[in-house]
Structure formats: C-alpha cells, structure tokens
Amino acid sequence: MKKIIPLSLLAASLTSLTGCGGEPAAKGIAPQKHTDSLFAVMNADRTNYTKLIIKRLGPDGVGAIQPEEHWKDFEAGAPLPAQMFRAGAEAVNEMTDDFTYSLQSSWPINKQNAPKTPLEKEGLEYVVANPGSNFYGEETLGDVTYFTAVYPDVAVSDACTKCHNEHKDSPKTDFEVGDVMGGVVIRVPL
C-alpha cells in the first residue's frame, strides 16, 4: 500500500502535466469514411482523364495524342486510363504507407490485375452483382490487418468499352457504357 499511493500520485501528476487524463479520446475519421473520400477523388480524376483527355484528344477526338500501353515509346504516347490510375497509386506509395489502392477486374486484360485475395474476389463479385453498392471488410496480408474497401469501376465512356471489347487479351467483349467493369480496391492498415 505504501508503494501504491506514491505511484498513484506520480501517475496523477504526470497526467495533469500532459493533459491526457479525463479528456475524451480524439475522434479520428472512420476507415469507411476515409476510403469513401479517397475513392471520390480517385473516381473523379479517373473519369476526367478518360473523358477530358483520352476521349477528347485521342483517336476518337482530335487525334492529338496516342493512348497506348507502351506510351513511352511514342512521341505523342499517353498512358491508358488504367495505367494513369496505376501511376497515381505508385506515386502515392512513394509518399505514404497510410493507404494503398489498385484497380482490379474479374475480366482483366493483364491477368496480374485479377482479384487475388479472398476478400478482393468477394468484393469484386459483390460490386458487380450489386451496382451502385460498395463492399467493405477486413483482411490480414503478411502480418498486417487492413480495412479493405472495394468500389465499382464503371465504364464512363465508350473509350473504355471499345478498348476492352476489342483487346485480344480481354476475357469479356460485350461491355457497355454504364457497366461495372471492375473495382477499385483501397486498403488502410489498421
């Protein structure tokens, strides 16, 4: 008892000094709201790049640029919308470990972009089967647990459907504008 009282007093004094005692814990943004906000930005940028750059300046527009997988090889080469999206994800990855994101599809042209983890597969199936809905879950990869959100990736222009329907490696060739072609997967480590 003699030892406990001084320790308690010490703890109380430290608490008063640091101002951490008794106050309600600061409320952080909920993971779901966090990923919803991130997706809003991603989706807006992705749609704008597809419509304002690729569609308007590409072969279906004024023909000033050449959207092409190996765009670095061409003077007027421009990254495809999926590559632009990926470039953003990679640039973010250079800046922060607080979240990651990727574009995936159950009908990927590049098979490396097929859903891989059980939660990705479940999420992709869900957003396709439930247009307009998002999917949320938790999963552990390596030794880290993530809040994982899957958002529908909708064909916003015939530039999307035309390219995917005509590509020799596309497993699905009857996409229409408005279809869910895949999903954006955002992960936040918990």
Partner 1 sequence: MKAYTLWIIWLVAFLLGMTYLLVRMIFGEQKSEFLIGDTTYGHYQIEMACETCHTTPFGGQEVLQDACTQCHAEELEAAHDSHPKSKFTDPRNADLLAIIDARYCISCHTEHKKDQTHSMGLTLPKDYCFHCHVDIGEERESHKDLAFDSCASAGCHNYHDNRALYEKFLLEHADEPWLKEPLAQAGQALPSITESIDRQAALTPADANAPEHALETKVLTEWHSDAHSAAGVNCTGCHSSATEAWIEKPSHDQCVKCHSREVTTFLAGKHGMRLNPELTTSLQAITPGESEMSFHQDSLETRHGCNSCHAAHTFNTQTAEVTACLNCHADQHSLAYLNSPHGQIWQADPASDAAVTCASCHMPRIESTFKGEKFAVVQHNQNDNLRPNEKMIRSVCLDCHGLGFAIDALASPHLIDNNFSESPTQQVPSIDWAKAREN
Q: Which is nearer to partner 1, 83 or 157 (CB)?
A: 83
Tell me which of 3, 26, 70, 174 binds partner 1, using CB under 8 A: 70
Figure out which of the listed residues 9, 14, 90, 167 binds partner 1, where binding follows CB under 8 A: 90
- Name which of residues 147 to 166 contact partner 1 (CB under 8 A): none
How big is the chain, counted in residues? 190
User: Is position 93 an interface residue for partner 1 (rule: CB under 8 A)?
Assistant: yes
DSSP 26-76: PPPPPHHHHHHHHHHHHHHHHHHIIIIIIIHHSTTTT--SEE-TTGGGSTT
Q: What are phi and psi of 128, to 5 degrees?
A: -75, -40
Query: Least CB distance from residue 116 to partner 1, whole Å?
Result: 5
Name the minimum Å distance from CB 76 to partner 1.
16
**What are the Cα distances from residue 144, in Å, to 8, 91, 137, 140, 189?**
36, 22, 14, 5, 7
Q: Which window, 9-17, 66-74, 77-85, 173-181, contacts partner 1 (CB under 8 A)?
A: 66-74
- The amino acid that residue 135 corresponds to is F
Q: Closest distance between partner 1 and the C-beta of residue 99, in Å?
A: 10
Decide if 36 contacts 43 (C-beta within 8 A): no
- Measured from the CB of residue 67, what is the shortest distance to partner 1 in angstroms? 13
Of 3-11, 36-44, 52-60, 114-122: span binding partner 1 (CB under 8 A): 114-122
Is residue 154 within 8 Å of residue 102, measured between CB atoms?
Answer: no
* Residue that has been written with the tokens 């008892």 in this structure: 1
Of 102 and 157, the one with the shorter C-beta distance to partner 1 is: 102
**Angle ∠(58,175,110) on CA atoms, nearest 5:** 75
Q: Which residues bind partner 1 (CB under 8 A)?
A: 69-70, 72-73, 89-90, 93-94, 100, 102, 111-112, 116-117, 120, 141-142, 144, 146, 168, 185, 187, 189
